Amino acid sequence: MATLYARAAGDSIEKLADDPSCARALAWIDTSAVWVTDQQIHLTEIPAPEFKEAPRAEYLKKIFEAAGLKVQLDKLGNVIAERPGSDANSVILLAAHLDTVFPAGTDVRVKRHSNRLTAPGVADNGAGLAALAGVARALSESRIQTTKTIVLAGDVGEEGEGNLRGIRALVETYASRLAAVIAVDGASTEHITTQGVASHRFEIAVTGPGGHSWSDFGAPNPITALSRGIVKFSAQPVPDDPRSSYNFGMIEGGTSINSIPSRAAVKVDLRSEDEAEVNKMERALRDAMQSGAREEMSAAHDGQNTLRLIVRSLGSRPAGKLPDNAPLLETLRNVDRFLGNRSRLERSSTDANIPLALNIPAVSLGGGGKGGGSHTTAEWYDATGRELGLKRLFLATVALAGVQP
């Protein structure tokens, strides 16, 4: 693994900002927030459901090419732009996910009221992608020459059932050359995400004989079996320390109101700061769903009809944590001090999970501005103060990459 040999001290950040090349980039940021917001609107209005990110990737590719970067699309659909440094074997990777949680057909047109934008995905991850575009242009304007190679990537598969496949491929591609990874996700500049929350996701299906709601009444019902299991699992306590959570996010089954379904399924997300706790929750979930199916069969009028429980993994996100004394974290703190930005350490499930689990220095940062309502159709973004986020990302990237004399 490539190494960050030293922290960028506070005084070195000030000197970096005064460097003529960096000063050009910072001046461009001060005058170009409108351009960045325009890119955010364009990107947001290109639908990017899970596994269908290609049109949005193509638009981001054009932005990167216009900034003079060498760009390629890999076999998964990641759009990758490289800015070579003098050391090709040491890489700083900035990645923002292309996909959204919203299905095809969702109205993603942006409604604008002054600095406030409203649309599904406008903050998560329209703000992150726009910030990535802004950093690409700022680097171009600076004409700065760095020691480490800088890679900017729009990656696929961060949301839902994507299982972080895009960042997994990027980490595999650059492997030992990675000195640091910054996932650009959302808007907020008030946090530095240094710990990846573990997540296991499943589809749990119950199948049975089905039948007519009248003539076959009393046959075991997969929907009722699932419901019994959900209630049993939900009654169990979830610890506050380590912080943990679960969500039954999607449920489906049946063909009509007067038919006993032959199949029903639910999709579940389990999370915890502790990998062992997620494994414990998984065992409890399996036990609860099995118990629910058994109860439904025992309540059936005909004991010969049985139900079958099928558990399918939809993805597993590993946990990981950046050490408190990591040079990457100290550099970011010094950038924040220079910019007068107050930030706190956070835990979340982001693209940073993958490098963190492999002991590659990584964090997740917001792109600037403010946002809310993520994963809802009422999602919003306010561009006020987005310059701070852009400067933060730019200075951190250049400080980590090192400036050639």
Res 359 pLDDT > 70: yes
Q: Are residues 44 and 152 in the same domain?
A: yes
Distance of CA 228 to the CA centre of its chain: 32
Residues 173, 217: one domain? no
CA distance 54 to 155: 10
Note whether residue 110 is domain-resident. Answer: yes
Residues 209, 189, single domain; the answer is no
User: Residue 351: pLDDT above 80?
Assistant: yes
Whether 251 is in a domain gets the answer yes
In this structure, is residue 143 part of a structural domain? yes
Tens digit of each residue's pLDDT (9 = 90 or more) over 72-95: 999 999 999 999 999 999 999 999
Q: Is the pLDDT of residue 4 over 60?
A: no
**Any domain includes 2:** no
pLDDT at 300: 84
- pLDDT for the residue 301: 77
CATH of the domain at 234: 3.30.70.360
Same domain, 209 and 294: yes
Q: Is the pLDDT of residue 63 over 90?
A: yes
Specify the pLDDT at position 5.
47
In a domain, 1, yes or no: no
On whether both 307 and 324 belong to a single domain, the answer is no
Residue at which a domain ends, from 316, 334, 357: 316
Domain final residue pick, 264, 289, 316: 316
Mean pLDDT lowest among 301-305, 314-318, 341-345? 301-305
Of 281, 298, 316, at which residue does a domain stop?
316
For 346-381, b where at least 16 C-beta lie within 10 A, e where not — what string? bbbbbbbbbbbbbebbbbbbbbbbbbeebeeeebbb
Which two structure tokens, joined as six digits, stand for 235?
């009654």
* Range of the structural domain that residue 271 is part of: 198-316
- Residues 217 and 159 occupy one common structural domain: no
Q: Is residue 4 part of a domain?
A: no
- Whether 24 is in a domain gets the answer yes
- Phi, psi of 386, deg, nearest 5: -65, -25
C-alpha distance from residue 393 to each of 25, 166, 306 (Å): 12, 21, 57
* Domains held by the chain: number: 2
299 vs 95 pLDDT, higher one = 95
Contact 49, 156 (CB under 8 A): no
**Cα distance between residue 100 and residue 94, in whole Å:** 18
Tokens of 35: 């351009």
Q: Is residue 159 part of a domain?
A: yes
Same domain (yes/no): 204, 178: no
CATH number at residue 31: 3.40.630.10
Q: Are 227 and 292 in contact (CB under 8 A)?
A: yes
One domain for residues 209 and 97: no
